[in-house]
């Protein structure tokens, strides 16, 4: 046994690489779909939207570009679908010029899988330049900032926007971002208008936002691939419960499964390495 | 009724007020205006108009939303004066305010916000100079042993014994990065040492400017030890400026040349582990040094010795044992002590609610 | 001697001027800074020409070495091909150059980047050995953080909070400590070069 452990601890690099390759690729080909338990910060956002009365409005700001797409885009898609499933009206907008095209694709997906209708079940306002001016402008009157939606329809003639004038009529703002834009929302929308704000950010930038959760300035936060997978999993569960047969691809869950198995394999290797190390030490 | 009242009030409203933005190069003016209290939500939008003097040319500089009655115009020149006016849109009606009195942006000669930084810079420079002059007088200064630098002789010696080359990577950054300069300083020492044993040193470089300097450094180092004949123009070369292309090249170089010793000094990013792990797999002795905090763990696990952060900057002084250079390290330590004391004091004060750093930095 | 002194004098004058320039926002100081930047760009672009010559010479020499000839031939052929299509047909969107860049170079770079996952596994495997108290603490911390980023982590009650704390407090504190030292080291190295005390960049 001791010899076996020592031998195992001196395993060649190529076998480790092979094992890791399999651990990362197999879950992508044959997704195990591990159940995802929500972390507290994700749960706060999920429950907030889940308990909103139908007809409420949630502003989803796609403040990201293609560089952070793999992490942030699944979050946008999942939250958007959650809103539509619960009868909450998502208002899509972006402070990034590239964000409009990316977010629009998410709305198209919601149309395809949930039969969401533009201007009735959702609104897409598109891009408006000027970070703080836009955030402050919505606080007074959203129509001043976005007189027309992305498709050129005047806001006044959109049924889903009836009665929406400013933050008072918006239950929650979620900023999806790979940078510090969510903080700009806190500074101008939360501090000045007491608007409830949540963040959906990349894993790398998440550490910078934790203090805002502790102080209650963010309702909650979706962080990295893990946050995306947790939310996506919960939304897919609702879709299944509602009898929707055709489900969109579970990009985040799949990615997170591969990620988790990869990490666990590395941990297993570390344990094996240590057992071998101890066995060799005892022999000496 | 309210509309008529609003239009009348806006017509009689005071012109915007214009202020200079301090501490700039005279390229910004701040425009402020006041709205009647009842106007919130009634004014659809506003345009800020600017008249350049003496030409009298009028430009629209920005669109504003009513709840933010302030705008900073960064498109002005300190040689000219400007007047501003606001154009209000209320439904189909447009009302223009009176023009403000002329204002000229001031180009500042000193940025007052940077004064605390300037004082600190002077303080630190003084401390360093004091130690350097002390060293000039011939006082010996003690430097604690740094394992990574003590190992340089051993690493070069090993390459000599094995008859294999040394690979030296001066980081992947540009010459503007101080870490790259530190890496080039260390390169000079190692080349001299390797030259004494006639051991080959290979320096693949990623940045063109760094390449030209690294080439001169190696050439001069051989010249200094009286062995200009050892310089081979092919030993320092430009590999590629693609980050991962460079990582692939260096990995292949270490695997094919079977280098006995690898040095990774300077600035590294995501490629650090690819380089160091390949080097470790060839069985080479590896010494790394970087100030890239996120890459340090990778070097620590894959290299035999790692210079952490400031040790990279201390390396040149340490290797040369020149009194003037070692003196600066002493000065650096004193400054660190000062910072530590200041941090503890300020933290204690903030516990008691006294926040004296506010606005200083 | 003069060959040494001239660069040292240039470095001293520009170093002092550029340090003062940082505190002066006036357009006169800004234009001096822009001049310095333009000069730097000019020198850098010339360095590119020298670097390309070095690249071609290096690989041409290696063509004669049997163990390296194949790789160097590929490098030179790729270089020549990209030069021909780049200079001959332009580098804009839709050109052969752009297509080669997007479909060959970008995937190759991504492949090399993704090797990191494998190297991280083998490095962790060798590094995390319980050799003493410090190594044990490091191992425990690594396990907690790794659990924290997996799906299973959420099923263990204290893991998410502890991971968050480890990243936001001890990790950030040590990073800041290193960064303060790095900052001071940078200033001191710059000062030594400006004053001409450090001359190793001139070859020693």
Percentage of chain C beyond pLDDT 90 is 52
pLDDT tier at B67 (50, 70, 90 boundaries)?
Answer: low
- Per the prediction, chain C carries an average pLDDT of 90
With a cut of 90, say whether residue C113 has pLDDT above it. Answer: no
Is C101 part of a structural domain of the chain? no
C48 chain-B contacts, CB cut-off 8 A: 208
**pLDDT confidence of residue A157:** 93
Burial class (CB in 10 A: 0-12, 13-18, 19+), B358: exposed
Cβ(B213)–Cβ(B181) under 8 Å? no
Average pLDDT over residues B318-339: 89
**Residues A27-75 pLDDT 10s:** 999 988 888 999 889 999 999 999 999 999 999 999 998 778 888 999 9
Is domain B2-96 classified as CATH 3.30.470.20?
no
Percentage of chain A beyond pLDDT 90 is 65
List chain A domain ranges.
1-30+259-282, 40-249
Q: Which of A268-282, B170-184, B216-230 is the least confident region?
A: A268-282
Chains within contact range of chain B (3+ C-beta pairs < 8 Å): A, C
Q: Does A278 touch chain C (CB under 8 A)?
A: yes
**pLDDT confidence of residue B226:** 94
With a cut of 80, say whether residue B56 has pLDDT above it. Answer: yes
pLDDT tier at A282 (50, 70, 90 boundaries)?
Answer: confident
**pLDDT confidence of residue B41:** 66
C113 and B244 in contact by Cβ < 8 A?
yes
With a cut of 80, say whether residue C1 has pLDDT above it. Answer: no
**Residues C47-79 pLDDT 10s:** 999 999 999 999 999 999 998 999 999 999 999
**Residues B209-221 pLDDT 10s:** 999 999 999 999 9
Is C20 part of a structural domain of the chain? yes
Residues of chain B with CATH 2.60.40.10: 2-96
Find, in chain B, the residue whose alpha carbon is nearest to that of C37.
B176
Backbone dihedral region for residue A162 (phi beyond 0: left; psi -120 to 50: alpha; all else: beta): beta
Q: Which of A126-135, B153-162, B263-272 is the least confident region?
A: A126-135
Domain boundary residue among C21, C37, C61?
Answer: C61
**pLDDT confidence of residue A66:** 79
**pLDDT confidence of residue A215:** 80
User: Using CB atoms, which residue from C71, C193, C203 is nearest to B188?
Assistant: C203
Q: Which domain holds residue C143?
A: 128-198
- Per the prediction, chain A carries an average pLDDT of 91
Interface test with C, best of A255, A263, A269 (most C CBs within 10 A): A263
Residues of chain B with CATH 3.40.50.1220: 140-321
User: Using CB atoms, which residue from A13, A136, A165 is nearest to B68?
Assistant: A136
pLDDT tier at B68 (50, 70, 90 boundaries)?
Answer: low
- Per the prediction, chain B carries an average pLDDT of 89
With a cut of 80, say whether residue B139 has pLDDT above it. Answer: no
Q: Does B45 touch chain A (CB under 8 A)?
A: yes
Cα(first)–Cα(last) distance of chain A, in Å? 16
pLDDT tier at C19 (50, 70, 90 boundaries)?
Answer: very high
- pTM, 2 dp: 0.84
With a cut of 80, say whether residue B360 has pLDDT above it. Answer: no
With a cut of 60, say whether residue A241 has pLDDT above it. Answer: yes
pLDDT tier at C107 (50, 70, 90 boundaries)?
Answer: confident
Cβ(A238)–Cβ(A50) under 8 Å? no
Find, in chain A, the residue whose alpha carbon is nearest to that of B45.
A144
Average pLDDT over residues C136-159: 89
Q: Which of B123-127, C127-131, C194-198 is the least confident region?
A: C127-131
Find, in chain A, the residue whose alpha carbon is nearest to that of B39.
A140
Residue B86 phi/psi, 5-degree rounding, is -110, 135
Q: List residues bridging with C101 in a β-sheet.
A: none
Integer Cα distance of B138 and C106 in angstroms = 57
* Entry field: residues in chain A: 284
What's the total number of domains in chain C? 2
The larger pLDDT score, comparing residue A133 to residue A114, is at A114
With a cut of 70, say whether residue C203 has pLDDT above it. Answer: no
Cβ(A138)–Cβ(A166) under 8 Å? yes
Q: Are strands B17-20 and B166-169 parallel, antiparallel or unpaired?
A: unpaired
C112 chain-B contacts, CB cut-off 8 A: 244-245, 247-248, 271, 274
**pLDDT confidence of residue B359:** 54
Q: Which of A253-262, B138-147, B287-296 is the least confident region?
A: B138-147
Classify domain B140-321 at the CATH topology level. Answer: Rossmann fold (3.40.50)
Backbone dihedral region for residue C54 (phi beyond 0: left; psi -120 to 50: alpha; all else: beta): alpha
With a cut of 90, say whether residue B290 has pLDDT above it. Answer: yes
Integer Cα distance of B71 and B191 in angstroms = 58
CATH number for A40-249 (one of 3.40.630.30, 3.40.50.12280, 3.40.50.10160, 3.30.9.10): it is: 3.40.50.10160
pLDDT tier at B358 (50, 70, 90 boundaries)?
Answer: low
A133 and B68 in contact by Cβ < 8 A?
yes
Q: Which of A37-46, B36-45, B85-94, C158-167 is the least confident region?
A: B36-45
Per the listing, tokens 């695997």 go with: B255
Integer Cα distance of A139 and A133 in angstroms = 10
Chains within contact range of chain A (3+ C-beta pairs < 8 Å): B, C
């Amino acid at each position: 046994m001791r010899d076996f452990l020592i031998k195992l601890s001196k395993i060649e690099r190529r076998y480790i690489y092979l094992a890791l390759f399999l651990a990362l690729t197999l879950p992508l080909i044959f997704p195990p779909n591990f159940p995802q338990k929500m972390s507290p910060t994700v749960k706060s956002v999920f429950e907030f939207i889940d308990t909103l009365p139908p007809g409420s409005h949630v502003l989803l700001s796609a403040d990201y570009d293609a560089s952070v797409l793999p992490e942030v885009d699944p979050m946008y898609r999942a939250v958007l679908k959650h809103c539509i499933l619960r009868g909450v009206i998502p208002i899509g907008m972006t402070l990034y010029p590239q964000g409009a095209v990316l977010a629009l694709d998410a709305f198209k997906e919601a149309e395809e899988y949930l039969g969401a209708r533009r201007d009735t079940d959702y609104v897409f306002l598109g891009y408006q330049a000027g970070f703080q001016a836009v955030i402050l402008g919505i606080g007074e009157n959203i129509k001043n900032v976005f007189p027309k939606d992305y498709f050129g329809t005047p806001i006044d003639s959109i049924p889903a926007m009836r009665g929406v004038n400013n933050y008072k009529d918006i239950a929650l703002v979620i900023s999806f971002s790979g940078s510090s834009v969510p903080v700009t929302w806190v500074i101008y929308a939360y501090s000045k208008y007491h608007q409830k704000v949540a963040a959906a950010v990349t894993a790398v930038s998440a550490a910078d936002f934790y203090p805002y959760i502790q102080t209650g300035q963010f309702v909650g936060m979706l962080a990295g691939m893990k946050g995306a997978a947790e939310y996506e999993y919960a939304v897919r569960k609702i879709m299944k419960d509602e009898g929707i047969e055709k489900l969109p691809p579970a990009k985040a869950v799949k990615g997170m499964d591969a990620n988790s198995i990869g990490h666990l394999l590395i941990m297993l290797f570390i344990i094996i390495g240590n057992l071998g190390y101890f066995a060799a030490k005892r022999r000496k | 009724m309210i509309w008529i009242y609003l239009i009348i009030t806006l017509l009689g409203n005071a012109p915007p007020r214009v202020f200079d933005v301090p501490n700039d190069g005279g390229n910004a003016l701040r425009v402020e205006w006041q709205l009647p209290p009842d106007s919130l939500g009634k004014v659809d939008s506003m345009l800020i108009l600017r008249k350049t003097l003496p030409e009298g040319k009028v430009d629209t500089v920005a669109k504003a939303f009513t709840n933010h009655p302030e705008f900073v115009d960064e498109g002005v020149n300190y040689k000219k004066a400007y007047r501003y006016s606001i154009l209000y849109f209320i439904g189909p009606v447009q009302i223009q305010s009176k023009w403000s009195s002329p204002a000229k942006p001031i180009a500042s000669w000193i940025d007052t916000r940077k004064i605390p930084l300037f004082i600190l810079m002077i303080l630190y420079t003084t401390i360093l100079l004091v130690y350097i002059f002390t060293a000039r007088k011939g006082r010996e200064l003690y430097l604690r042993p740094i394992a990574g630098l003590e190992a340089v002789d051993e690493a070069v010696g090993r390459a000599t014994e094995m008859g294999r080359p040394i690979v030296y990577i001066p980081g992947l950054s540009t010459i503007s990065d101080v870490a790259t300069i530190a890496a080039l300083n260390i390169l000079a020492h190692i080349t001299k040492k390797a030259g004494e044993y006639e051991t080959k040193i290979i320096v693949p470089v990623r940045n063109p400017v760094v390449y030209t300097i690294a080439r001169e450094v190696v050439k001069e180092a051989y010249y200094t030890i009286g062995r200009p004949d050892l310089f081979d123009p092919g030993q320092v070369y430009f590999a590629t400026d693609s980050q991962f292309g460079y990582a692939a090249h260096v990995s292949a170089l270490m695997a094919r040349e079977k280098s006995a010793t690898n040095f990774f000094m300077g600035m590294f990013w995501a490629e650090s582990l690819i380089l160091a792990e390949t080097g470790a797999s060839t069985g080479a002795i590896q010494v790394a040094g970087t100030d890239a905090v996120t890459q340090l763990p990778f070097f620590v696990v894959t290299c035999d010795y790692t210079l952490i952060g400031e040790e990279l900057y201390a390396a040149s002084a340490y290797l040369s044992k020149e009194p003037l250079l070692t003196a600066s390290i002493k000065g650096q330590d004193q400054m660190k002590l000062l910072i530590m004391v200041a941090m503890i004091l300020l933290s204690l004060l903030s516990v008691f609610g006294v926040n004296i750093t506010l606005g200083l930095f | 001697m003069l060959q040494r002194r001239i660069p040292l004098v240039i470095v001293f004058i520009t170093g002092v001027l550029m340090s003062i320039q940082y505190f002066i926002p006036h357009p006169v100081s800004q234009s001096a800074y822009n001049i310095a930047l333009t000069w730097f760009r000019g020198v850098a672009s010339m360095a590119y020409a020298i670097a390309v010559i070095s690249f071609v010479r290096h690989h041409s020499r290696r063509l004669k070495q049997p163990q390296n000839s194949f790789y160097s031939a590929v490098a030179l052929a790729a270089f020549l091909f990209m030069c021909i299509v780049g200079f001959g047909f332009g580098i804009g969107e839709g050109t052969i150059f752009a297509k080669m860049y997007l479909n060959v170079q970008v995937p190759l770079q991504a492949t090399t980047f993704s090797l990191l996952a494998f190297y991280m596994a083998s490095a962790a495997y060798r590094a995390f050995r319980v050799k003493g108290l410090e190594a044990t603490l490091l191992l425990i911390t690594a396990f907690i953080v790794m659990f924290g980023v997996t799906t299973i982590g959420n099923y263990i009650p204290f893991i998410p909070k502890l991971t968050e704390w480890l990243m936001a407090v001890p990790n950030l504190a040590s990073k800041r400590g290193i960064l303060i030292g790095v900052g001071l080291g940078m200033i001191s190295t710059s000062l030594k070069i400006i004053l001409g005390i450090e001359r190793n960049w001139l070859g020693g």
